[in-house]
Amino acid sequence: MAFVRGFGRFWYDFIVGDDWKIAAGVVAALGITAVLVANEAFGDSALIVIGAAGIVAGFVTSLVVDVRRP
C-alpha cells in the first residue's frame, strides 16, 4: 500500500506541482483544444496558436490571482 501511495504522491507532485491553478488552466486549455480538434473547427496552425494562447492565458491568470492576494 505504501508503494501505491508513494506512486500517487509522485504523480500529483509531478503534474500539479506548487500551484493547482496552473495545472487546472493547462487541463482546461488542452480540453478546449481537443474539442476544437474533434470538431475540426479550425486548421492545424490556428489550433496550435489557440492552444498555446489558452495555456499562456491560464498561467497569466494564475499569476494575477496570486499577486493580487493580500
Report whether 21 contacts 62 (CB < 8 A): yes
**Among 18, 16, 41, CA closest to 27:** 16
What domain range is 52 assigned to?
18-68
Is 56 within a domain? yes
CB-facing half-sphere around the CA of 26: CA atoms within 13 A: 9
Quick one: pLDDT at residue 50?
92
Is 31 within a domain? yes
Report whether 59 contacts 25 (CB < 8 A): yes
Is 59 within a domain? yes
**Among 27, 25, 50, 26, CA closest to 37:** 50
Written as tens digits, the pLDDT of the chain (70 aa) is 888 999 999 988 888 887 888 888 889 999 999 999 999 889 889 999 999 999 999 899 988 988 886 6
Q: Which residue has the cell 490571482?
A: 65
Quick one: pLDDT at residue 56?
94
pTM (2 d.p.): 0.73
